[in-house]
Structure 1
Amino acid sequence: MMLLKRGRLLLLLKLTVVLGSVWMFSLLIRPKTGWDPTYIFRYGWLEYTDADGGPEKVCNCSAILQGEREALLQAKLLTITKAFRKSVHIPDEYYINATQDCRIFKLSRKYLLFPLSQEEEDFPLAYSMVVHHKVQNFERLLRAIYAPQNIYCIHVDKKAAASVLSAIKAITSCFPNVFMVSKAVSVVYSAWPRVQADLNCMADLYNASTKWKYFINLCGQDFPLKTNLEIVRALRSLKGGNSLESEKLPGEKRWRVTVAHEIVDGKIQLTGKVKQPPPFNLPILSGNAYIVVNRGYIHSVLKDNRILALIEWAKDTYSPDEFLWATIQRIPGVPGSTRPSPKYDITDINAIARMVKWQWHEGSQGSLEAAYPECQGSHVRAICVYGAGDLQWMLEQHHLFANKFDTDTDPIAVYCLERYLREKALAELH
């Protein structure tokens, strides 16, 4: 009997080596509730190592993050090599197959399956993620921001390829706190459906949990610049306030809200019809689609009659995502709002929600006119698709997230950023 027990024990030990012994023992001894700091020494299995990386591991991320010229040049040469870019691409079918065994998928991808601190566990967040392609980008973003105490609503464009929808559904099925939006829409950018996608997730998130403190919306090509703990601390420091771009609407954009628009064959067009003024004489402010707002703000979006009237009024405007949230932020009585006075205007640089490098605001390092240094990657619709050379500067900023990243264009930028964030998250435990 003793030999039999010893044999079973040896078999169990071999199994834990194969599956990651630290992970197995942590699960066996971890209490069902609460956070135990004695886990710290068991977190080695969560580190990203060269063994986890694909072809990107040939790069020296430490040197890249320090801005060393030789390392940046090597990264630049690799990203313009078709063979290298092809080698790092992961097809949608991989995720469909890999998630057949969710436990192995989460283990192999090193998802954080328990809170890293009591502080984070006590401050859950809600995320809306609007995606239409590039599953690999989405999965790496989800992994970077995933924590079991948070909640995630995923909206996949109804026009997305079948493989994209299937892969993302497969990924979300592996997590109890990640779900597909209850009602997906066919997104038309610069038109109302882009806002409706977030609204649908807002409602689902609000109804799904009463615990989360702040709402953050993302798209599939965003990536965090901060760890979850840093995000939590940044949000706690807002003391119930919101952080989003909200400033005077430029004169050259007035036509967006004074003339009605409609969607024809999947594109937004002018109708020539002059719109009525906004309800309740609300001043229309300028902003962008991405926001960091408290739960009370979301409650107002869903329930406040003034905002519901504004939403109806905005449905035939051009690019309503670039003024709706900014306008709501200045409505008296909305939790975390500020007064409509220009004294309270906030630019995208001052808000913490999102760092975006617009081509026309870039300039040389010594330029006094430029808002930020030149893009080290490429441009899509005048927005910088970040390269490895942007990382050092980017990590010095106060923003929680940045847009845009693309593993098909510069996988090294994402690879080095995700390794940096995981290393920092684990270092915060000591």
Structure 2
Amino acid sequence: MRRKSDWPTTAGCTSSVTASETEICPKYSWLDYTDADGNPENVCNCSAILQGERDALDQAILLSITKDFKKSVHIPNEYYVNASQDCRKFKSSRKYLTFPLSKEEQDFPLAYSMVVHHKVQDFERLLRAIYAPENVYCVHVDKKSEASVVSAISAITSCFPNVFMVSQAVSVVYASWSRVQADLNCMADLYEAKTKWKYFINLCGQDFPLKTNLEIVRALQSLKGSNSLESEKMPQEKQWRMSNAHQIVNGQITATGTKKGPPPFNLPILSGSAYIVVNRGFVRSVLEDNRIPALIEWAKDTYSPDEFLWATIQRLPGIPGSKRPSPKYDMTDINAIARLVKWHAYEGEAYPECQGHHVRSICVYGAGDLQWLLQQPHLFANKFDTDTDHIAVYCLEKYLRHKALAEMI
């Protein structure tokens, strides 16, 4: 435990973080991501990209499709296995923050579930971006992931006392119950951890933060114990997901042709998202409330249960931080701070058009999306992919690290 006298100070340093050019204390400048690092991405002007300047964005787009550049920024899985043999050197070279940046953050620890199945480089950059020694992180690697992925992520987590692999991994099938089970297993492990964290946030490997840890802490403090997640009336076009039984066939979820009965206790089933920001009491209820097991058993053969289970639990009476099932308490994904996702169908209406590309009707962000993303209230955004737009991740992580160091109080 760091003594009060050990907390980092910023005497004589500016505390303004309104621009990417904000200065940081020289004592901690080695933790900043700068052009002096010699990374190939430095040919890009991130400040100009974040301001939406066309020339800088065009250069980023050109680089993103250049084979030599893509090869130069790719980090193979073997690197992480080898580099983490010396954990101290690994954390130093990758510039992990190994001390709390403020007492406010130290007094408000967070818990993260990270569900991953590939793209180790994306996972490691996400972990680095959200890592703080006061937080705790459970990593679920898909049971069917390639051995090189499991080895690399295991090696990375072994370097941190507050980052661990889930005690029971499952084989995750898209839109099936297994996606929920992965988070449930991490919830259970995190709840038993020594750290008495305040809020739980679940992530996947292609998420990335839009806020610094301090900003996330303050956003959660402002909730005053409430949860923030999408929870609204189930659209008619999604009713089939719960009225028809499903099973896994040849690695895919398939309808059985059998009709399902009503949910237990006549619970109103709400529509939502897999992504949630919930307090410790919510997680305790998921693990211990006697109403939840019946709901879980009923949901196991539905389609995409992660898109209604959390939303439904959020509206149950007595759940810490919950809201009443009345429509006046409905919350959309735009208003919930858990995750910002650009759906192709709503581009041009709810938000600007995607500047990257689409996967399953979801925008995989490009550098041109960053200016808009950073203006939003959400804590995280999905999806990012360093294989297709490395600059978007690089400029975002560079901006957040500089801001975090400038915020030190």
Mapped to 2, the partners of 1:136 and 1:211 lie a distance apart of: 29
**2:368 corresponds to which of 365, 389, 401:** 389
Question: Where is the helix percentage greater, Structure 1 or Structure 2?
Answer: 1
Contact conserved, 1:35 with 1:115, CA < 8 A, in 2? no
Q: Report what 1:411 is aligned to.
A: 390
Amino acid at match of 2:121: Q
**1:177 corresponds to which of 129, 137, 162:** 162
Q: Report what 2:17 is aligned to.
A: none
1:264 offset after TM fit, Å?
1.1
Mapped to 2, the partners of 1:351 and 1:390 lie a distance apart of: 20
**1:267 corresponds to which of 252, 271, 279:** 252
Contact conserved, 2:136 with 2:195, CA < 8 A, in 1? no
Partner secondary structure for residue 148 of structure 2: helix
The 5 A counterparts of 1:111-150 are 111-150=96-135
1:35 offset after TM fit, Å?
5.9
Matched, 1:334 2:313: no
Q: Report what 2:146 is aligned to.
A: 161
Q: Report what 1:20 is aligned to.
A: none
Mapped to 2, the partners of 1:294 and 1:100 lie a distance apart of: 36
1:333/1:38 Cα in 2 relative to 1: closer, same or farther (>3 Å)?
closer
Q: Deviations over 1:161-219 (max 9, x none)?
A: 10000000000000000000000000001000010000000000001135100000000
1:50 offset after TM fit, Å?
1.5
1:99/1:38 Cα in 2 relative to 1: closer, same or farther (>3 Å)?
closer
Mapped to 2, the partners of 1:330 and 1:278 lie a distance apart of: 14
Matched, 1:376 2:355: yes
Q: Report what 2:29 is aligned to.
A: 44
1:44 offset after TM fit, Å?
1.5
Partner secondary structure for residue 169 of structure 1: helix
Matched, 1:224 2:203: no
Amino acid at match of 1:205: L
Mapped to 2, the partners of 1:35 and 1:90 lie a distance apart of: 38
Contact conserved, 1:246 with 1:327, CA < 8 A, in 2? yes
Q: Deviations over 1:242-296 (max 9, x none)?
A: 0000010000110100111111111111111111110111000000100000000
Contact conserved, 1:35 with 1:117, CA < 8 A, in 2? no
Amino acid at match of 2:364: V
Q: Deviations over 1:365-388 (max 9, x none)?
A: xxxxx0000000111111111000
Matched, 1:308 2:293: yes
Mapped to 1, the partners of 2:408 and 2:37 lie a distance apart of: 22
Amino acid at match of 1:389: G
Partner secondary structure for residue 286 of structure 1: strand
Q: Report what 1:233 is aligned to.
A: 218
Q: Report what 2:270 is aligned to.
A: 285
Mapped to 2, the partners of 1:395 and 1:258 lie a distance apart of: 39
Q: Report what 2:68 is aligned to.
A: 83
Contact conserved, 2:8 with 2:101, CA < 8 A, in 1? no
Mapped to 2, the partners of 1:250 and 1:329 lie a distance apart of: 17
TM-score by length of 2: 0.95
Larger Rg: 1
1:255/1:53 Cα in 2 relative to 1: closer, same or farther (>3 Å)?
farther
Mapped to 2, the partners of 1:280 and 1:395 lie a distance apart of: 42
Higher RCO (CA 8 Å, separation ≥ 6 residues): 2
Partner secondary structure for residue 291 of structure 2: helix
Mapped to 1, the partners of 2:152 and 2:121 lie a distance apart of: 10
Query: Larger deviation: 123-132 or 36-45?
Result: 36-45
Matched, 1:66 2:51: yes
Q: Deviations over 1:69-105 (max 9, x none)?
A: 1101111111122222122111000000000100000
Contact conserved, 2:45 with 2:56, CA < 8 A, in 1? yes
Partner secondary structure for residue 154 of structure 1: strand
Structure 1, gaps ≥5 residues long: 1-30, 364-369
Q: Report what 1:101 is aligned to.
A: 86
Partner secondary structure for residue 159 of structure 1: coil
Matched, 1:425 2:395: no
1:389/1:267 Cα in 2 relative to 1: closer, same or farther (>3 Å)?
same
Paired residue total:
394
Q: Report what 1:26 is aligned to.
A: none
Structure 2, gaps ≥5 residues long: 11-24
Amino acid at match of 2:396: L
Contact conserved, 1:130 with 1:154, CA < 8 A, in 2? yes
Amino acid at match of 2:53: E
Matched, 1:211 2:196: yes
Partner secondary structure for residue 51 of structure 1: helix
Contact conserved, 2:8 with 2:408, CA < 8 A, in 1? no
Amino acid at match of 1:375: C
What is the RMSD computed on CA atoms of the aligned residues?
1.1
Amino acid at match of 1:401: F
Moved over 3 A (4+): 31-41
Contact conserved, 2:7 with 2:100, CA < 8 A, in 1? no
Mapped to 2, the partners of 1:305 and 1:38 lie a distance apart of: 45
Partner secondary structure for residue 192 of structure 2: helix
